[in-house]
Homo-oligomer: A and B are copies of this chain.
Amino acid sequence: MTVYLKDIPLKQAQERFYNALVENNLWKILRTESIPLDENAVGRVLAEPVWARISSPHYHASAMDGFAIRSAETIQAMPTSPVILLSPDQTQYIDTGDPLPDWADAVIPIEQVEALDQQGKPANELRKPTSIRIRAAATPWQHVRPLGEDIVASQLVLPAGQVLRPVDLGAAAASGHTHLFVAARPQVAILPTGSELIPIGQPPARGDIIEYNSIVLAGQIRQWGGEPTRHPITFDDFDLICQRVQHAAESSDLILLNAGSSAGAEDFSSKVIEHLGEVLVHGVAVRPGHPVILGFIHHKTSGGKIRIVPVIGVPGYPVSAALTAEIFIEPILAHWLGRPAWDPAVIQANLTRKITSPAGDTDYVRVVVGQVGEKTLAAPLARGAGVITSLVRADGITILPAGTQGLEAGSSVQVRLYRSANDLFQTIFAIGSHDMTLDLVAQFLAGQNRRFISANVGSQGGLVALRRGEAHLTGCHLLDPTTGEYNVYAIQQYLPTMPVRLITWVNREQGLLIRKGNPKGIVDLTDLVRSDITYVNRQRGAGTRLLLDYHISQLHLSLPNIKGYTQEEYTHLGVAAAIASGRADCGLGIPAAARALDLDFIPLYHERYDFVIPHSHLSGDLLNPLFDLIQNPEFRSAISSLPGYDLSQMGNIIIP
């Protein structure tokens, strides 16, 4: 029985699989089809070049509303000695686009002629004069679009491999086409497997996993030009999976088995592929996504022939699944469609914090990228393969090649961008203390062409980030125990030389989050030292933790007696989740977090939560939409619907 996968390097895995595709004559455009030339062709890939069948224009056309003339008859025309041309022998009115009469070789725009009637007076009908008077010579072919000005019959209009855009369709139509030869969409079957899976919409019991990888994979396949088919969930049953795979093979160019690709008790994917065909690769040295399987099945067609159908065992963790698709499936679809593979823009950025990497693996680190002053920064996101939100938030991927042990904060890295580099300049980096209103800020600013990215490192961490020039602003609630004032002393300590504005954001309550109904009868901080109470703390440098420490020392409580004091969470919601799940009994936090997870709340303190903003970031217009929110009634009412907030001081400038 295999327990461990044998991870091989990424490049080797790709080569082994793609070479097998080449050998089986599957590394080219799979099928072509002729489709009508209409708006539905946008995004399809040309399988053959478009050569012009006709010229455009296909005749000499007037480029203006005006009069067709023979240029030779106008040579003498001057302002002081005009030339008169008679209609219809010497001149004829034509609209833009009309064909030039055979005898004519130029057009004079209507606004440059005097149209005359039979008496030689200004004609009533400008376009049907008896004659026209002109006062300047016309040059041959002026204001004429000669035959073939745009397209000459037989020339290349669009190359094969072109991903069709709206204007391409125009050029193809102009050159005489009514249909286009494009690559047929590759058919990709997606088979979710796993007894623990439930479809979306079914209320999940403990241990149930909502099956959504198939939706993400189907969206990716569609986006890359393939046609996905999502099959129903299959339980972990070897025979049943074999049967479903064989059935899917009938109408598929590629089969994705998700998941069961690891080596757990019920991971059948590799056995199924082995049984129906051949496993080429099981395990790739890439994180996330290492338990990937690359192989083939031999499908017997109705005609009795054996057809080779590639199969990919896609890992079950959502980030692994999405990245596996990007790494292995997109390039295959590119070849099957005859278009260039995805080639993201790459920028250079500096890491905001240290990252470690398992030696030997190619490591895909999701990062948020932003421009703070002169610096382009890449902030690593959660590394867990289960954290789909890390891909949602990611602006790009930094690839640490196999062999890299990790990188220090400040290291220069290349980032493969998911977004346009332009977007990075619309990103506000808020690094500091967590508050529930930051979610609302992100929500409201999204409609204003701003992305608001908050990294929760605590108030002190935020001030350090400002000092390093790695954030546009910091949310901060640091109590000076000697004066009872907030933030001013901390700014003097952390940012002695940096001019910053300190502006009040909200006043908020802090207190103890406890389970509904307060089953352990907690009253205040003195309960923390009870032996039956487990606390959940915020991380070092968080204002909430400093608040706790301050009051613990005021109450002369013994730190070692507080169980769970070293159990750290990075957000108020994290603390709330720990209590809701039973991992802890209480934690200091804000009432909005308690309400979010249906906990009870014991109010204890009030505190001021401010924004600290370096003057250097106030000059541009990046932050203006944020400041506008302070007066936005919808935004204020959204905050007021959360418990424990007081907006009466919002926008007060403490340090100008």
Contacts and interface: CB of A to CB of B under 8 A. Distances in A.
A358 interface: no
Contacts of A222: 39, 42
A174 interface: yes
A265 B64 CA distance: 12
Interface string A141-162: 1000111111111111111111
Given A3-B111, A218-B38, A149 B449 contact: no
A210 interface: yes
Most buried by B among A156, A173, A421: A173
A70 to B, nearest CB: 13
A599 to B, nearest CB: 11
A253 B105 CA distance: 45
Contacts of A615: none
Interface in A215-233: 215-223, 228, 230
B178 A97 contact: no
Contacts of A141: 567, 583
Contacts of A499: none
Interface stretch (A387-395, A459-467, A479-487): A387-395
A496 interface: no
Given A150-B389, A160-B447, A201-B178, A422 B345 contact: yes
Contacts of A60: 581, 583
Given A148-B577, A384-B149, A597-B152, A212 B169 contact: yes
Contacts of A82: none
A430 interface: no
Nearest to A571: B152
B392 A157 contact: yes
A583 B384 CA distance: 71
A300 B447 CA distance: 33
B212 A173 contact: yes
Contact of A576 (B41, B152, B167, B580): B152
Contacts of A216: 166-167, 169-170
Most buried by B among A110, A389, A578: A389
Contact of A174 (B206, B210, B597): B210
Contacts of A338: 447
Nearest to A418: B165
A386 interface: yes
A386 B577 contact: no
Contacts of A652: none
A199 B230 CA distance: 39
Interface residues of A, number: 132
Contact of A57 (B217, B386, B392, B421): B386
A200 B173 contact: yes
Given A60-B583, A159-B446, A167-B322, A153 B596 contact: yes
B219 A581 contact: no
Contact of A59 (B37, B201, B206, B567): B206
B152 A574 contact: yes
A262 B387 CA distance: 56
B384 A96 contact: no
Given A152-B597, A159-B442, A96 B173 contact: no
A558 interface: no
A63 interface: yes
B98 A446 contact: no
Given A147-B580, A178-B201, A345-B420, A155 B439 contact: yes
B95 A219 contact: no
Interface in A6-62: 37-39, 41-42, 49, 54-61
A510 interface: no
Given A37-B215, A178-B200, A223-B42, A386 B169 contact: no
A209 B153 CA distance: 16
Given A95-B265, A146-B581, A262-B96, A110 B3 contact: yes
A210 B59 CA distance: 12
A455 to B, nearest CB: 15
Contacts of A263: 65
Contacts of A57: 209, 386
A344 interface: yes
A380 interface: no
A263 to B, nearest CB: 8
A223 B163 CA distance: 13
A204 B386 contact: no
Interface string A257-270: 00000111110000
A176 B597 CA distance: 14
Contact of A219 (B159, B169, B221, B262): B169
A77 interface: no
A458 interface: no
A219 B148 contact: no
Contact of A228 (B39, B110, B171): B39
B170 A446 contact: no
A574 B148 contact: yes
A407 interface: no
Interface of A: 1, 3-4, 37-39, 41-42, 49, 54-61, 63, 65, 93, 95-99, 102, 105, 110-111, 126-127, 140-141, 145-162, 165-171, 173-174, 176-178, 196, 200-201, 204, 206-207, 209-210, 212-213, 215-223, 228, 230, 262-266, 316, 318, 322, 338, 340-341, 343-346, 382, 384, 386-389, 391-392, 420-423, 439-440, 442-443, 446-447, 449, 567, 571, 573-574, 576-578, 580-583, 595-597
The 6 closest A-B pairs by CB, nearest first: A166-B219, A154-B596, A173-B212, A159-B446, A148-B577, A39-B218
